[in-house]
Amino acid sequence: MRSSALFTKRNPDAHPDFFAAEAAGLRWLGAAGAPVVDVIDVAQDHIDLERLMSGRADPAAARVLGRALATMHDAGVDGGFGCPPDGFAGQIFIGRRPMSSTQHSRWGEFYAAERVVGFVRIAVDAGSVSTEQLGDIERACGAVADGTFDDDAAPARIHGDLWNGNVVWTPRGAVLIDPAAHGGHRETDLAMLALFGCPFLPDVIAGYCDVHPLRPGWQERVPLHQLHPLAVHAAGYGPGYGRQLHSAAREVLRLL
């Protein structure tokens, strides 16, 4: 009989790498100082995690989270942009969707090709992105791929799916769950927190900057880093997200 202290996710039809990818991501982020849920056991059809107690967000806990995220990002990766967690060679995922782990030396090239364009194609086929919207999205992706927004930063160790639902507030502070961990850009995690609303986000950012000040203009680049999650959501959740994706693409075009 399983302990009541466990939280088990089970799916006998899951991809052979699905739960292993989650476990590898959690351990990789945890090794870099992130407050992640503990992995107790993992197999092809399930993952056992510690059961988290519910708590409340507050400014102090949010600032601690920000510092931890900066430390996690600063740990870096052993590969290029797009690399999977260390020691994991299988398929990685964002939510239930497969995600590329093809590596690139340039962020913009990686981000456009591996994190936006493929999901946009799915969204177009699903009817969530119109032909008219697609033109602006493709122009924005072209500018990103050309290196317009590249900087000299090395790949960061990112959670990759850091929306508010994957931050659990507990009595011991924020705990991260359900990563899509890979080598990416630090601003992508922060933009995902902003996308669906994170409690005390200004305090998270302040804590982050205590450890690693953000480059000037990061606020204007938030729509750029939201192209990925919006493309993923447009691929699966309808035209409303297609419209948000189009709006973000137009904001990116205004930065040119």
Domain ranges for the chain: 52-254
**If pLDDT is split at 50, 70 and 90, which confidence band does 4 have?**
low
Q: CATH number of 52-254: 3.90.1150.10, 2.60.40.3950, 3.30.470.20, 3.90.1200.10?
A: 3.90.1200.10
Question: Taking 60 as the threshold, does the pLDDT of residue 234 lie above it?
Answer: yes
Nearest partner of 169 among 124, 200, 145, judged by Cα: 200
Q: What is the structure's pLDDT at 3?
A: 43
The pLDDT tens digits for 81-118 are 999 999 999 999 999 999 999 999 999 999 999 999 99
Q: Alpha-carbon dihedral of residues 233, 236, 241, 242, nearest 10 degrees?
A: 110
Q: How far apart are CA 238 and CA 233, in angstroms?
A: 8
Q: What is the structure's pLDDT at 85?
A: 98
**If pLDDT is split at 50, 70 and 90, which confidence band does 5 have?**
confident
**Whole-number percent of the chain with pLDDT over 90:** 97
Beta strands in 75-199 (DSSP E): 92-94, 97-99, 156-158, 167-170, 173-176, 182-184
Contact 227, 110 (CB under 8 A): no
Question: Taking 50 as the threshold, does the pLDDT of residue 72 lie above it?
Answer: yes
Task: Enter the pTM of the model.
Answer: 0.96
